[in-house]
Amino acid sequence: MALMATCLGFPRIGAGRELKKALEATWAGKAPGEALEEVGRALRARHWAAMKAAGMTEVPAGDFSFYDHMLDAAVMVGAVPARYAAVADPRARYFAMARGLQDPAAGVDLPALEMTKWFDTNYHYIVPEIAVGQTFRLAARPLLGQIEEARACGVEPRPVLVGPVTFLQLAKLAPGAPAGASALEALDRLVQTYQELLATLAGRVGWVQIDEPCLVGDLDGPTREAYRRAYDRITFSKARPKILLASYFGELGPNLELGAGLGCEGLHVDLVRAPGQLEAVLDKLGPGAVLSLGVVDGRNVWRTDLDRALALVTRAVEKVGGARVRVASSCSLLHVPVDLALESDLDAELGSWLAFARQKLDEIVALAAAAGGETVHAARFEVARAALASRRASPRARDPEVRARAEAVRPEMLRRRSAYPARSVRQRARFGLPLLPTTTIGSFPQTREVREARAGWRAGRMTAEAYLQFLREETRRCVAEQEALGLDVLVHGEFERTDMAEYFGEQLSGFAFTRHGWVQSYGSRCVKPPVIYGDVRRPQPMTVAWTRFAQSLTPKPMKGMLTGPVTILQWSFVRDDQPRAETCRQIALALRDEVQDLEAAGTGMIQVDEPAIREGLPLRRAEWPAYLRWAVDAFRLATAGVGDETQIHTHMCYAEFGDILAAIAELDADVLSIETSRSQMELFRDFGRSRYPNEVGPGVYDIHAPRVPTTAEIDELLARARQVLPSERLWVNPDCGLKTRGWPEVRAALANMVESARRARRTLGS
């Protein structure tokens, strides 16, 4: 008999990005909220039907979200900061927490909650804000509604909850909390709310999935005790469903005994990231406990080696019996595209190597059947074996010249000619910038007209020359806008680019692209990661022509804009047949050529963005040094070949950087721009404590919220920044690129930013 087959979650956005379109129509006032709810119901029904058709024994419910699952959890337990109480409509309040809300007519101006990366993924979550003495109040109606919807679709739902300890570990205390306070102080009150929720679910469902991914990280004594205290109370209650405790993104390791001993009826482990933990898990598994094996990768798009995965499942069945083993995805399938069947443009060979969420369901079911002794899906094993053999033998994955060049990298290639103090003197003489120079991060609004022109060109409705002329005019207009605003250092706007990683991957060998391979990054923001299948080479310059054209339009400095090697790596689906460090080095060498070509073309400022460098950090500190070594070396390999007068910028955003500031300093970028406005410059204080040596642009304008910061807000942020670093080493810029914003709010926000910088200069001058 086949084993139970399931997954930990499914993509929310829809194969045609239906959720994105419905959200943006709602936010723009073009569709009522009821229409958004109907899109949500239709997507959930479609996804459950797909899981049922594939043969899933049990399906997740409550993993769907209109913005983010951490935000949903905060709303469900009543962790809504008091300032949002003024928004009476629950839907508007929810989106105000996610995106901010600015309504001058109503006198409402609410910044959004902070946002940061979900562990080591490119998914962003909304950071819950916990007040000192926080009380909680259960609001379970949306979850209960999804459970009833699932039953109406004829599937057995398993609700998915963010675990109470992970929730508090990833939350932050509200401003004004006393020094040394911890969000875990609220644990007992939060657990009481979870007990109430589980009692509500009792009789409605047989199992509930509680996600505690923090169990695969480093835990201190108080956090370990928090786990014991929380689950002693949760599991003691008899009025509850059975609990599947889900860990993922790594190995339980030293936390295995803790996790296995929390009294839950089931334990899920990630055997894609950490297959070597299986024997230890089998030894520690409690009597009668169910073991969910994450043997199909929820993070990457490569076809599963079914024989290798089956060996792991078979070993578990031998040890504890098939009735106690489930076959599952390693984590939620949120992180992969929906359906490979839509990719009609991929060549047959490459397509045979891949599996998206829909295909991963088939892999799970095939494994569950084979482990139970059934042969009904034997053909899937044969197809998988043939595809894996094809991939291993294909010459398209290896380029001898690229490999020889990577092996020839020498330490001197990773060092600038002079140290920063000497470089800064030459750069200031070259550019003659004022104190607190103003700039932006790179992209400007990709309007409907830009998107329509790109679609028309790709569909053949617009000629290549007409499209090129359109892009030139957009660039010309963007440069003129920046000059009118009074910005000191300009960018060309990036209208020719779709995505930070995809644009460069399209011009590098070893990359493949999809048409429908969208993945949610946050809210309605979706990205289409490239697939790195082979060795990476730059056949020709990628950005030089656009940068040269933009510079010809203005006497002001024009930054050349590149995505860094670590970020291209992190924001792609990366080949798994060689170390990630080796792939990153190949990308760095390709970018090194581009940086040097930009310099030769007269570009004096070159920005190489690395927003994902923190994202790639392993979840255990013991593994940090090795990762940071090759990540820093890759950035330096890409950038260190220029002269002292060339100013290297980089940009980072939406992550906690305080604990890797030494590595960030080691990048040796002349100017670093960083996200700080959502945290009210809180993250920037670490730069002062670490005595960061180079120049920094702390973001003073939160571009992920549709609101215009006032000059008073920016004045306050700049004043806080000047308490951390001397004004001579500060720049003034937004948090991130402006691609997703509209021109009216961008003009207003940047005008306020420029005016605030000028006021600060006048104050300093006096």
> How does pLDDT run across 412-426, given as a tens digit for each residue?
999 999 999 999 999
537 strand-pairing partners: 509
Burial class (CB in 10 A: 0-12, 13-18, 19+), 711: middle
pLDDT band for 740, please (50, 70, 90 cuts).
confident
705, pLDDT greater than 90 = no
pLDDT at residue 285, as a whole number:
96
pLDDT band for 678, please (50, 70, 90 cuts).
low
Per-chain mean pLDDT for the chain: 94
Q: What integer is the mean pLDDT of 386-404?
A: 95
pLDDT band for 441, please (50, 70, 90 cuts).
very high
pTM of the model: 0.92
> How does pLDDT run across 517-551, given as a tens digit for each residue?
999 999 999 999 999 999 999 999 999 999 999 99
Domain-located, residue 731: yes
Domain-located, residue 118: no
Return the residue matching tokens 């569709």. 31
Expressed as residue numbers, the domain containing 594 is 400-446+486-765
490 strand-pairing partners: 558
Q: What is the rounded CA–CA span in Å between residue 647 and residue 425?
A: 11
Domain total of the chain: 1
pLDDT at residue 179, as a whole number:
83
254, pLDDT greater than 70 = yes
Query: What residues act catalytically?
Result: 704
Neighbouring CB atoms inside 10 A of 192's CB total: 15
Q: Among the listed ranges 460-464, 480-484, 682-686, which one has the minimum average pLDDT value?
A: 682-686
103, pLDDT greater than 90 = no
684, pLDDT greater than 80 = no
pLDDT band for 764, please (50, 70, 90 cuts).
confident
Domain-located, residue 705: yes
Helix intervals (H) in 57-102? 69-76, 90-99
Q: Which CATH number goes with the domain that contains 426?
A: 3.20.20.210
> How does pLDDT run across 193-223, given as a tens digit for each residue?
999 999 999 999 999 999 999 999 999 999 9
Q: Among the listed ranges 123-132, 345-354, 577-586, 677-686, which one has the minimum average pLDDT value?
A: 677-686
pLDDT at residue 721, as a whole number:
86
Domain-located, residue 476: no
Secondary structure string (H, E, C) spanning 597-664: HHHHCCCCEEEEECCCCCCCCCCCHHHHHHHHHHHHHHHHHHHCCCCCCCEEEEEECCCCCHHHHHHH
Q: What is the rounded CA–CA span in Å between residue 759 and residue 153?
A: 61
Q: What integer is the mean pLDDT of 393-410?
A: 95
Q: What integer is the mean pLDDT of 145-157?
A: 96
Is the four-CA dihedral 439, 444, 445, 449 of positive or negative sign?
A: positive
Domain-located, residue 533: yes
Q: What integer is the mean pLDDT of 577-587?
A: 97
Domain-located, residue 645: yes
pLDDT at residue 655, as a whole number:
60
What is the number of alpha carbons within 13 Å of residue 100 lying toward its C-beta? Answer: 19
Domain-located, residue 324: no
pLDDT band for 9, please (50, 70, 90 cuts).
very high
Q: What integer is the mean pLDDT of 689-717?
A: 85
Q: What integer is the mean pLDDT of 21-34?
A: 95
Q: What integer is the mean pLDDT of 439-452?
A: 93
Q: Please, are residues 704 and 461 in contact by the beta-carbon 8 Å criterion?
A: no
721 vs 398 pLDDT, higher one: 398
pLDDT band for 682, please (50, 70, 90 cuts).
low
Domain-located, residue 415: yes
pLDDT at residue 703, as a whole number:
79
pLDDT at residue 658, as a whole number:
72
pLDDT at residue 650, as a whole number:
95
